[in-house]
Amino acid sequence: MKSSFKIFSAFGIPVELHISFLLLMLFIYFIAFLGIISTYIAFLITLLFVTVVVHELSHSYVAKRYGVKVGKIVLLPIGGVSAMEEIPKDPDQELKIAAAGPLANIIIALACFIGLIIIGGVGSLTFYSFFISNTPSADLSLFLANFLGVNLVLGLFNLLPAFPMDGGRVLRAFFAKRMSYTKATKAAASVGKQFAILMVILGIFFNFILILIAIFIYLGADQEYKNVMISSKLEGISVRDIMTKDVNTLTPDTSVSEALNTMFKQRHMGYPIKDHGELVGIVTFDDISKIPENQRDTPIGNIMTKKLILANPDEPAMNTLEKITKNNIGRLPVIENGNLVGIISKTDIMRVLEVLDTKPHE
């Protein structure tokens, strides 16, 4: 069962709605129907999530301009997530991609301010109008003031100098103009962690939510640095350098029992399936372990994974690791000119990283 479904496309990018987001919106309008919150609040929350989509589309549009492939945007209760490939390491390009989202929110806030000027409602723009109150009804001036506030806060919040916020990427782009990309990431991640620690201290005295945000920022900064370190270590290493070239294959008619015996003998946990020389699937120990003992005469062709994610021997090893991690799988068949030439697993890549770790650091 799919966890999200497409609602529209923009710039050739599918925008999907996660089922959890749909349930959240239904809940919001349900409590509005019960009178717990006003319809105005429910409507404003809906529009806030629309601006999140605009925010993510702005990132994605600029990224596509620089050749980054964007698979989709998924709208979640915590915000939008763009499924894009690795951000370019060119500082100028990364800065523009990172800044595009917050800039979109600031432009919306500016449009609201111009609207207030046009209708003569600037007097509604006070410090308190930035905080959305449970007003039974609201005029256009209050709406524009509230919408200006939430977009300004969203834009500025995303510019916090910490990963995974956009501001963390802007900061890295600034550092990367003055040092190596790896050192720039380390410096930006360090700033992000220090910022997170400061937020924890503030959260203790003011608001517990700040502590939760700080944890999110600290872990995000740490993960970003680790990813860049791995990418740096694997730089220049291709799938061809790591893959197992002598590939053992099975056929769709092989029984589950026979496949299990092969796995125990050869100590490999996954095998490509070929039918008359053509790759048609892959079967893993996880697939086989789900079959009851009294059904182990079942052909593996009935349980194999037919929708394959493939690797190319000349693609960077880091790209393959990202495919494996993203899809939560253990190994990929390696295809060259339509032929199976190898198989590469996450264990293979991790083993290479362990070897590289034993080398003296610069």
Q: Tell me if 283 sits within 8 A of 300, measured CB to CB.
A: yes
Instruction: Say what the pLDDT of residue 135 is.
Output: 62
Query: Is 293 assigned a catalytic role?
Result: no
CA distance readout (Å), 68 to 59, 85, 86, 308: 11, 6, 7, 23
pTM, whole model, 2 decimals? 0.71
Name residue 55's amino acid: H
Dist CA 228 CA 86 (whole Å): 10
Take residue 60 and report the two structure tokens written for it. Answer: 């994605």
**Residues facing residue 10 across a β-bridge:** 13
CA distance readout (Å), 277 to 17, 129, 280, 281: 41, 69, 9, 12
Dist CA 57 CA 100 (whole Å): 9
Give 259-304 pLDDT, tens digit per residue.
888 888 888 888 899 988 888 989 888 888 888 888 888 898 888 8
List binding-site positions for Zn(2+). Answer: 55, 59, 166
Instruction: Say what the pLDDT of residue 114 is.
Output: 93
DSSP strand pairing (13-18 vs 70-76): parallel
Instruction: Say what the pLDDT of residue 359 is.
Output: 60
List binding-site positions. Answer: 55, 59, 166
Catalytic pick from 16, 56, 94, 224?
A: 56
Q: Which residue do the tokens 């256009």 mark?
A: 140
Residue from 162, 178, 167, 121 nearest 144 by CA: 121
The CB-based long-range contact list for 154-157 (8 Å cut-off, 24+ gap) reads 154/48, 154/51, 154/52, 154/55, 154/102, 154/105, 155/101, 155/102, 155/103, 155/104, 155/105, 155/106, 155/109, 156/102
**What pLDDT tens digit does each residue of the chain (362 aa) get?**
567 778 888 888 888 888 887 888 888 888 888 888 888 888 888 888 888 888 888 998 998 888 888 888 887 765 677 777 677 778 899 999 999 999 999 999 999 999 989 888 777 677 666 666 656 666 788 888 888 888 988 888 888 888 778 898 899 999 999 988 888 888 988 988 888 899 889 888 887 778 887 888 888 888 888 888 888 888 889 999 999 888 888 899 999 899 888 888 888 888 899 988 888 989 888 888 888 888 888 898 888 888 888 899 999 888 888 888 878 888 889 998 888 898 998 888 888 888 876 765 54
Dist CA 47 CA 144 (whole Å): 12
Instruction: Say what the pLDDT of residue 362 is.
Output: 46
Dist CA 72 CA 60 (whole Å): 9
